[in-house]
Amino acid sequence: MSSPLVARTAHRTLDVDGVRVFYRESLPERADAPVLLLLHGFPSASHQFRRLIDVLGTRYRLIAPDYPGFGHTEAPADFTYSFDRLADITEGFIQRLGLTRFVTYVFDFGAPIGFRLAERHPEWIAGLVVQNGNAYTEGLSDGARDFIALRPGTPGAEDTIRDLLTLPGTRGQYETGVTDPELIAPDGWTLDQHFLDLPGRKEAQVALAFDYHSNVERYGEWQAWLRKHTPPTLITWGVNDPFFPRPGAQAYLRDLPDAELHLLDTGHFALEEHLSQIAPLIADFLDRVWS
């Protein structure tokens, strides 16, 4: 019997410290298939990986959780939104699943969460796939630096953040920098905006935006971790990203000179336009790393 062209995917929830974590998991044909943990970005959720899961999930176990404040995950009203807390919940999620070794895909917000996990559990990390997940100051555009500098109480700061949480702001993150907007399905930004408009979600995003400086302050620690542990690394980067431009990708080579780097002529959500290029790179990387 020939293998199916599209993966079977389960959609489940796990309770982690009072948070009902929603996640997608492919059901590969092999029980011992390589594991890829997919850590999504802002303002999206696990649905940003749905096509990648379809393409690779027959051969690999792909697991994509939604963080608190994103997607279908449900957090209590008194949840404190910070990157440390998102990492805490993701750490608990991994432990509840019983994962002990996996390759981590870090994208956008997934990078600060993923690197926190790597610091806490270096033994978990079999390799890294980095897609517009920044860990270097030169990887911040001027606009990103201005945004990160916003602080609570500064006149106009919260309004600036909330402007990004509107439909034009969400759509712009998908379309800015792409070579052909007709290749970008509207489903991603439409679903993102649905979740952003749920009660309490914009407040969660404002809190995370004000906390983003905590990630930049830890860049040096994460770079030291990379130099110490030298994980096998695949970098696929949309060079027209308005937040994290090309130098952020190239900077990884200082600490990981053996990393595999692919620069793509697209924007922030590189998978939307270049899935056909990125998916085979990931498959080849997983086969090499896992063996």
Distances (CA, A) of 207 to 15, 53, 87, 121, 167: 23, 30, 15, 26, 19
pLDDT one-digit tens code per residue, 43-91: 999 999 999 999 999 999 999 999 999 999 999 999 999 999 999 999 9
Q: Are strands 260-264 and 233-238 parallel, antiparallel or unpaired?
A: parallel
Domains of the chain: 9-290 (3.40.50.1820)
Q: Would residue 268 show up in a list of annotated catalytic residues for this protein?
A: yes
**244 and 268 Cβ atoms separated by less than 8 Å:** yes
Q: Which of 40, 47, 268, 274 is catalytic?
A: 268
- Strand order from edge to edge, sheet including 125-130: 9-16, 19-26, 61-65, 35-39, 102-106, 125-130, 233-238, 260-264
How many helices (H) does the chain have, and how many strands (E)? 12, 8
Neighbours of 131 (CB within 10 A): 28
Tens place of pLDDT per residue across the chain (291 aa): 345 678 899 999 999 999 999 999 999 999 999 999 999 999 999 999 999 999 999 999 999 999 999 999 999 999 999 999 999 999 999 999 999 999 999 999 999 999 999 999 999 999 999 999 999 999 999 999 999 999 998 999 999 999 999 999 999 999 999 999 999 999 999 999 999 999 999 999 999 999 999 999 999 999 999 999 999 999 999 999 999 999 999 999 999 999 999 999 999 999 999 999 999 999 999 999 998
Is-above-0.85 flag for pTM?
A: yes
- Tell me the C-alpha distance between 111 and 108, whole Å: 6
**Which runs of consecutive H residues, i.e. helices, occur in the chain?**
50-56, 83-97, 110-120, 142-148, 157-164, 167-175, 187-196, 201-211, 213-216, 219-229, 246-255, 270-290
CA atoms within 13 A on the CB side of 136: 20
- Is 185 exposed, middle or buried, given 0-12, 13-18 or 19+ CB atoms closer than 10 A? exposed
The phi and psi torsions of 188 (rounded to 5 degrees) equal -60, -55
